[in-house]
Amino acid sequence: MLRNPRLTGCFTAITSPFTRDGHALDLARLAEQIAFQAAGGVTGIVVSGTTGESPTLSEAEYDQLVSAAVEQARKHNILVIAGTGSNSTHHAIELQKRAKKLGAHAALSVNPYYNKPGQEGLYRHFMAQADAADLPVVLYNIPGRTGVALNPETIERLAAHPSIHAVKEATGSTDSCSEIVLRCPDLAVLSGDDSMTLPFASVGAVGVVSVASNLLPAEVTALCRAFLDNDWAGARLWHQALFNFCRTLFAETNPIPVKGAMAKLGRDSGAMRLPMTEAKPETVARVLSAMELARTGLPSRGTVESVGPSRTRLV
Protein backbone atom coordinates (compact mmCIF):
# COMPACT_ATOMS: atom_id res chain seq x y z
CA MET A 1 0.00 0.00 0.00
CA LEU A 2 1.24 3.48 -0.86
CA ARG A 3 2.41 5.67 2.00
CA ASN A 4 0.41 8.55 0.51
CA PRO A 5 -2.43 7.36 -1.79
CA ARG A 6 -3.26 10.99 -2.69
CA LEU A 7 -0.06 11.25 -4.74
CA THR A 8 -1.48 9.45 -7.77
CA GLY A 9 -2.79 10.59 -11.15
CA CYS A 10 -1.98 13.76 -13.06
CA PHE A 11 -0.12 16.65 -11.44
CA THR A 12 0.37 19.61 -13.76
CA ALA A 13 3.72 21.36 -13.55
CA ILE A 14 2.22 24.77 -14.15
CA THR A 15 3.97 27.73 -15.69
CA SER A 16 4.57 30.77 -13.52
CA PRO A 17 2.49 33.51 -15.13
CA PHE A 18 4.44 36.74 -15.35
CA THR A 19 3.42 40.15 -16.59
CA ARG A 20 4.26 40.99 -20.20
CA ASP A 21 7.43 42.78 -19.15
CA GLY A 22 8.36 39.84 -16.93
CA HIS A 23 8.88 42.04 -13.89
CA ALA A 24 6.13 40.59 -11.68
CA LEU A 25 3.79 37.65 -11.18
CA ASP A 26 0.32 37.85 -12.73
CA LEU A 27 -1.86 36.40 -9.96
CA ALA A 28 -5.10 36.91 -11.86
CA ARG A 29 -3.73 34.73 -14.67
CA LEU A 30 -2.55 32.20 -12.08
CA ALA A 31 -6.11 31.87 -10.78
CA GLU A 32 -7.34 31.27 -14.34
CA GLN A 33 -4.68 28.62 -14.94
CA ILE A 34 -5.55 26.75 -11.75
CA ALA A 35 -9.26 26.85 -12.54
CA PHE A 36 -8.50 25.44 -16.00
CA GLN A 37 -6.51 22.60 -14.47
CA ALA A 38 -9.24 21.81 -11.95
CA ALA A 39 -11.82 21.71 -14.74
CA GLY A 40 -9.59 19.17 -16.48
CA GLY A 41 -9.78 16.88 -13.47
CA VAL A 42 -6.13 16.87 -12.40
CA THR A 43 -5.17 15.61 -8.96
CA GLY A 44 -3.01 18.62 -8.29
CA ILE A 45 -0.49 21.16 -9.50
CA VAL A 46 3.23 21.70 -9.02
CA VAL A 47 4.33 25.32 -8.57
CA SER A 48 7.85 26.73 -8.68
CA GLY A 49 9.23 23.75 -10.54
CA THR A 50 11.24 23.51 -13.74
CA THR A 51 8.21 24.51 -15.84
CA GLY A 52 7.57 27.37 -13.43
CA GLU A 53 11.03 28.89 -14.07
CA SER A 54 11.85 28.48 -10.38
CA PRO A 55 15.49 29.71 -10.63
CA THR A 56 14.23 33.15 -11.67
CA LEU A 57 11.86 33.66 -8.72
CA SER A 58 12.84 35.98 -5.89
CA GLU A 59 12.13 34.85 -2.34
CA ALA A 60 9.21 37.27 -2.11
CA GLU A 61 7.79 35.96 -5.41
CA TYR A 62 8.16 32.37 -4.21
CA ASP A 63 6.06 33.12 -1.13
CA GLN A 64 3.54 35.03 -3.22
CA LEU A 65 3.25 32.26 -5.81
CA VAL A 66 2.89 29.36 -3.38
CA SER A 67 0.48 31.25 -1.14
CA ALA A 68 -1.76 32.26 -4.05
CA ALA A 69 -1.66 28.77 -5.55
CA VAL A 70 -2.71 27.20 -2.25
CA GLU A 71 -5.56 29.68 -1.87
CA GLN A 72 -6.87 28.98 -5.38
CA ALA A 73 -6.36 25.21 -5.18
CA ARG A 74 -8.44 25.03 -2.01
CA LYS A 75 -11.37 26.50 -3.92
CA HIS A 76 -11.13 23.64 -6.42
CA ASN A 77 -10.17 20.82 -4.04
CA ILE A 78 -6.87 19.98 -5.72
CA LEU A 79 -3.41 19.49 -4.21
CA VAL A 80 -0.43 21.84 -4.37
CA ILE A 81 3.13 20.53 -4.50
CA ALA A 82 5.67 23.31 -4.05
CA GLY A 83 9.18 23.15 -5.46
CA THR A 84 11.70 23.32 -2.61
CA GLY A 85 14.86 22.14 -4.34
CA SER A 86 18.23 23.85 -4.20
CA ASN A 87 21.87 22.99 -4.63
CA SER A 88 22.38 24.45 -1.16
CA THR A 89 21.12 22.14 1.57
CA HIS A 90 20.62 25.10 3.90
CA HIS A 91 18.49 26.88 1.30
CA ALA A 92 16.49 23.72 0.60
CA ILE A 93 15.75 23.41 4.32
CA GLU A 94 14.49 27.00 4.42
CA LEU A 95 12.27 26.42 1.37
CA GLN A 96 10.87 23.26 2.97
CA LYS A 97 9.90 25.22 6.08
CA ARG A 98 8.36 27.99 4.00
CA ALA A 99 6.35 25.60 1.85
CA LYS A 100 4.93 24.03 4.98
CA LYS A 101 4.06 27.42 6.47
CA LEU A 102 2.43 28.56 3.22
CA GLY A 103 0.10 25.55 3.20
CA ALA A 104 1.50 23.34 0.44
CA HIS A 105 0.39 19.69 0.57
CA ALA A 106 3.83 18.38 -0.39
CA ALA A 107 7.29 19.51 -1.49
CA LEU A 108 9.16 18.65 -4.67
CA SER A 109 12.91 18.51 -4.06
CA VAL A 110 15.25 18.24 -7.04
CA ASN A 111 18.71 16.67 -7.05
CA PRO A 112 21.31 19.30 -6.12
CA TYR A 113 22.54 20.71 -9.43
CA TYR A 114 26.03 21.87 -10.44
CA ASN A 115 27.69 20.60 -7.21
CA LYS A 116 27.48 16.96 -8.43
CA PRO A 117 27.52 15.30 -4.98
CA GLY A 118 27.97 11.57 -4.54
CA GLN A 119 25.23 9.25 -3.36
CA GLU A 120 26.08 9.84 0.32
CA GLY A 121 25.87 13.59 -0.21
CA LEU A 122 22.51 13.20 -1.94
CA TYR A 123 21.25 11.01 0.89
CA ARG A 124 22.24 13.49 3.58
CA HIS A 125 20.87 16.44 1.58
CA PHE A 126 17.40 14.94 1.22
CA MET A 127 17.32 13.59 4.77
CA ALA A 128 18.14 17.04 6.13
CA GLN A 129 15.33 18.55 4.11
CA ALA A 130 12.85 15.85 5.14
CA ASP A 131 13.76 16.51 8.78
CA ALA A 132 13.19 20.26 8.41
CA ALA A 133 9.39 20.31 8.40
CA ASP A 134 6.50 17.89 8.72
CA LEU A 135 5.63 17.96 5.03
CA PRO A 136 5.54 15.08 2.52
CA VAL A 137 8.56 15.14 0.21
CA VAL A 138 8.58 14.13 -3.45
CA LEU A 139 12.14 13.41 -4.57
CA TYR A 140 12.85 14.79 -8.06
CA ASN A 141 15.33 12.63 -9.95
CA ILE A 142 16.27 14.43 -13.17
CA PRO A 143 19.93 13.88 -14.09
CA GLY A 144 19.52 15.58 -17.47
CA ARG A 145 19.01 18.91 -15.70
CA THR A 146 21.16 18.38 -12.60
CA GLY A 147 24.13 16.34 -13.78
CA VAL A 148 23.65 13.72 -11.06
CA ALA A 149 21.16 10.90 -10.54
CA LEU A 150 19.67 9.37 -7.42
CA ASN A 151 20.39 5.64 -7.55
CA PRO A 152 17.55 3.25 -6.66
CA GLU A 153 19.63 2.06 -3.70
CA THR A 154 19.80 5.62 -2.35
CA ILE A 155 16.09 6.12 -2.89
CA GLU A 156 15.50 2.94 -0.88
CA ARG A 157 17.59 4.36 1.98
CA LEU A 158 15.68 7.63 1.83
CA ALA A 159 12.34 5.81 1.82
CA ALA A 160 12.97 4.87 5.45
CA HIS A 161 12.20 8.50 6.37
CA PRO A 162 8.47 8.84 7.14
CA SER A 163 8.22 12.21 5.34
CA ILE A 164 9.48 10.92 1.98
CA HIS A 165 6.36 9.81 0.13
CA ALA A 166 7.12 9.80 -3.59
CA VAL A 167 9.67 10.21 -6.34
CA LYS A 168 9.32 12.06 -9.61
CA GLU A 169 11.40 9.86 -11.88
CA ALA A 170 12.68 11.79 -14.89
CA THR A 171 15.49 9.48 -15.95
CA GLY A 172 13.55 8.08 -18.92
CA SER A 173 14.65 4.60 -17.79
CA THR A 174 12.05 1.90 -17.24
CA ASP A 175 14.79 -0.17 -15.61
CA SER A 176 15.35 2.54 -13.00
CA CYS A 177 11.61 2.95 -12.48
CA SER A 178 11.18 -0.83 -12.13
CA GLU A 179 13.93 -1.07 -9.54
CA ILE A 180 12.53 1.82 -7.48
CA VAL A 181 9.07 0.21 -7.46
CA LEU A 182 10.54 -3.13 -6.39
CA ARG A 183 12.74 -1.64 -3.67
CA CYS A 184 10.19 0.93 -2.40
CA PRO A 185 6.68 -0.50 -2.86
CA ASP A 186 5.11 2.11 -0.58
CA LEU A 187 6.52 5.12 -2.47
CA ALA A 188 4.41 6.72 -5.19
CA VAL A 189 6.49 6.81 -8.37
CA LEU A 190 5.43 9.58 -10.76
CA SER A 191 6.80 9.85 -14.28
CA GLY A 192 8.75 13.04 -14.89
CA ASP A 193 8.42 12.70 -18.68
CA ASP A 194 5.02 12.86 -20.38
CA SER A 195 5.93 10.36 -23.07
CA MET A 196 6.98 7.83 -20.41
CA THR A 197 3.78 8.00 -18.36
CA LEU A 198 2.31 4.74 -19.64
CA PRO A 199 5.62 2.83 -19.97
CA PHE A 200 6.39 3.68 -16.35
CA ALA A 201 2.86 2.82 -15.25
CA SER A 202 3.31 -0.62 -16.83
CA VAL A 203 6.03 -1.36 -14.26
CA GLY A 204 4.29 0.21 -11.28
CA ALA A 205 4.31 4.03 -11.46
CA VAL A 206 1.06 5.67 -10.41
CA GLY A 207 0.95 8.99 -12.27
CA VAL A 208 2.83 11.84 -13.87
CA VAL A 209 4.06 15.34 -13.21
CA SER A 210 3.02 16.67 -16.58
CA VAL A 211 3.93 19.55 -18.86
CA ALA A 212 1.43 18.43 -21.53
CA SER A 213 -1.50 18.90 -19.16
CA ASN A 214 -0.92 22.64 -19.17
CA LEU A 215 -2.66 22.41 -22.55
CA LEU A 216 -4.60 19.11 -22.35
CA PRO A 217 -5.39 18.43 -18.68
CA ALA A 218 -8.48 16.29 -19.30
CA GLU A 219 -6.66 14.07 -21.77
CA VAL A 220 -3.61 13.45 -19.57
CA THR A 221 -5.94 12.87 -16.62
CA ALA A 222 -7.90 10.33 -18.70
CA LEU A 223 -4.70 8.46 -19.50
CA CYS A 224 -3.86 8.22 -15.79
CA ARG A 225 -7.35 7.21 -14.81
CA ALA A 226 -7.35 4.47 -17.41
CA PHE A 227 -4.27 2.69 -16.10
CA LEU A 228 -5.17 3.32 -12.45
CA ASP A 229 -8.48 1.57 -13.24
CA ASN A 230 -6.57 -1.30 -14.93
CA ASP A 231 -7.98 -0.29 -18.33
CA TRP A 232 -4.71 -0.91 -20.15
CA ALA A 233 -6.25 -1.04 -23.61
CA GLY A 234 -7.83 2.37 -23.07
CA ALA A 235 -4.62 3.74 -21.59
CA ARG A 236 -2.71 2.60 -24.66
CA LEU A 237 -5.12 4.53 -26.91
CA TRP A 238 -4.61 7.70 -24.91
CA HIS A 239 -0.84 7.17 -24.94
CA GLN A 240 -0.76 6.71 -28.70
CA ALA A 241 -2.86 9.82 -29.28
CA LEU A 242 -0.75 11.98 -26.97
CA PHE A 243 2.71 10.60 -27.71
CA ASN A 244 3.80 12.87 -30.58
CA PHE A 245 2.34 15.93 -28.86
CA CYS A 246 4.31 15.15 -25.69
CA ARG A 247 7.55 14.79 -27.63
CA THR A 248 6.95 18.01 -29.58
CA LEU A 249 6.63 19.97 -26.34
CA PHE A 250 10.36 19.44 -25.87
CA ALA A 251 11.44 20.69 -29.31
CA GLU A 252 13.08 23.49 -27.34
CA THR A 253 14.01 23.56 -23.67
CA ASN A 254 10.99 23.36 -21.35
CA PRO A 255 9.03 25.59 -20.68
CA ILE A 256 9.73 27.56 -23.86
CA PRO A 257 7.39 25.57 -26.19
CA VAL A 258 4.47 25.26 -23.76
CA LYS A 259 4.52 28.95 -22.86
CA GLY A 260 4.67 29.86 -26.54
CA ALA A 261 1.67 27.66 -27.32
CA MET A 262 -0.29 29.01 -24.36
CA ALA A 263 0.28 32.56 -25.56
CA LYS A 264 -0.95 31.69 -29.04
CA LEU A 265 -4.08 30.13 -27.53
CA GLY A 266 -4.94 33.25 -25.53
CA ARG A 267 -3.74 31.73 -22.25
CA ASP A 268 -0.61 33.86 -22.12
CA SER A 269 1.72 33.21 -19.16
CA GLY A 270 3.66 36.38 -19.86
CA ALA A 271 7.29 36.86 -20.68
CA MET A 272 10.02 34.27 -20.44
CA ARG A 273 12.62 35.40 -17.95
CA LEU A 274 16.24 35.42 -19.04
CA PRO A 275 18.24 33.36 -19.64
CA MET A 276 15.20 31.67 -21.25
CA THR A 277 13.89 33.28 -24.43
CA GLU A 278 10.62 33.12 -26.34
CA ALA A 279 9.77 30.14 -28.54
CA LYS A 280 10.58 30.14 -32.24
CA PRO A 281 7.44 30.59 -34.38
CA GLU A 282 8.02 27.22 -36.04
CA THR A 283 8.15 25.53 -32.62
CA VAL A 284 4.81 27.02 -31.60
CA ALA A 285 3.28 25.95 -34.91
CA ARG A 286 4.54 22.39 -34.42
CA VAL A 287 3.15 22.21 -30.87
CA LEU A 288 -0.28 23.50 -31.88
CA SER A 289 -0.42 21.15 -34.87
CA ALA A 290 0.55 18.18 -32.69
CA MET A 291 -2.05 19.18 -30.12
CA GLU A 292 -4.80 19.19 -32.73
CA LEU A 293 -3.66 15.80 -34.02
CA ALA A 294 -3.77 14.48 -30.46
CA ARG A 295 -7.34 15.70 -30.09
CA THR A 296 -8.48 14.19 -33.37
CA GLY A 297 -6.41 11.02 -33.00
CA LEU A 298 -8.56 9.50 -30.29
CA PRO A 299 -11.87 9.34 -32.18
CA SER A 300 -10.13 7.45 -35.00
CA ARG A 301 -9.09 4.77 -32.48
CA GLY A 302 -12.15 4.74 -30.27
CA THR A 303 -15.08 6.95 -29.33
CA VAL A 304 -14.49 9.71 -26.82
CA GLU A 305 -17.47 10.51 -24.62
CA SER A 306 -17.62 13.64 -22.51
CA VAL A 307 -18.50 12.99 -18.89
CA GLY A 308 -18.50 16.54 -17.60
CA PRO A 309 -16.23 19.58 -17.89
CA SER A 310 -13.25 17.89 -16.27
CA ARG A 311 -13.39 14.39 -17.73
CA THR A 312 -13.46 12.35 -20.89
CA ARG A 313 -13.50 8.61 -21.26
CA LEU A 314 -13.24 5.95 -23.94
CA VAL A 315 -16.37 3.90 -24.66
Q: What is the per-residue pLDDT across 137-149, written as a single tens digit (0 to 9) for each? A: 999 999 999 999 9
Q: What is the mean pLDDT of residues 260-287?
A: 94
Supply the mean pLDDT for the chain. 93
Task: Kindly state the average pLDDT of the residues 230-250.
Answer: 96
- Is a pLDDT exceeding 50 seen at residue 254? yes
If you classify domain 9-230 with CATH, what class do you get? alpha beta
- Asked if pLDDT for residue 306 goes beyond 50, the answer is no
Q: Residue 298: which pLDDT band, with cuts at 50, 70 and 90?
A: low
For residue 66, pLDDT over 80 is answered with yes
How far apart are the C-alpha atoms of 156 and 183, rounded to whole Å?
Answer: 6
* Sequence ranges of the domains in the chain: 9-230
Instruction: List residues with catalytic annotation.
Output: 140, 168
The region of weakest confidence among 266-270, 296-300, 305-309 is 305-309
Q: Are 249 and 213 in contact (CB under 8 A)?
A: no
